[in-house]
Amino acid sequence: MIIAPSILSADYVNLQKNIETVDKAGAEYLHIDVMDGNFVPAISYGPGWLKAIRPITKMTLDVHLMVQNPERYVEQFAENGADIIGVHVEATPHIHRALQLIKNAGAKAEVVINPGTPVEAIKPVLYMVDQVLVMTVNPGFGGQKFLPKTLKKIQQLDQLKQTEGYDFDIEVDGGVKANTIKSCADAGATVAVAGSYIFDADDPAGQVATLKEATK
């Protein structure tokens, strides 16, 4: 299981130190939640944050755009160092075009679905994505409880990978802890985002190790 610490829960004053800590602990991805105050109530980082982060880590920068009409920002985030860019199917009427833009910008394309969105909504674009993000909480806030019913969607996606020959990663985001990550892995998830579980702890590096151990 690839572990993707989310900086939404990091200490912004000591952000570089936090990033270096999880990097040295073996986390492969760094998850960056971009929020516009429209698609979700909160507001967070812009492309400038990504530009500042890129030189301090070689981790894969996994950018999750929780913004309305994400097509407007794809090129900026790709230029500033995003390796993966995720867009919500609920946030644009042109999901195919948004994913094409990501590919054309040189990043890996990810489609994201909220807890209330069925897998059927993204079936037409699964052939073109590198990753699918299943939100296991409602987007916009950290520290929420894992929604067990989202496991069925992970299972459905895993089944589609097998029957259709797809090779996308399945990422989960929300309420990921040592006692929930194993269920996600068993259902077919390959990448797990964790924010408060890692950065709210006294030993973030130890939390990364605990998550990895839980899926062995």
pLDDT, tens digit, 9 for 90 and up, residues 147-164: 999 999 999 999 999 999
143 marked as part of a ligand binding site: yes
Question: Do the annotations mark residue 33 as ligand-binding?
Answer: yes
According to the annotation, is 175 in a ligand binding site? yes
* CA nearest to 174, candidates 131, 201, 142, 212: 142
pTM beyond 0.85, yes or no: yes
How high is the pLDDT of residue 208? 98
Q: Which residue matches tokens 């897998």?
A: 119
Contact 139, 114 (CB under 8 A): yes
| Domain residue spans of the chain | 2-214
Read off the pLDDT of residues 15-66 as tens digits, 9 standing for 90 and up.
999 999 999 999 999 999 999 999 999 999 899 999 999 999 999 999 999 9
Catalytic residues: 33, 173
Give residue-wise pLDDT tens across range 171-182. 999 999 999 999
Query: Residue 6 annotated as binding?
Result: yes
Which overall architecture, per CATH, does domain 2-214 show?
Alpha-Beta Barrel (3.20)
Q: How confident is the model at residue 142 (pLDDT cuts 50, 70, 90)?
A: confident
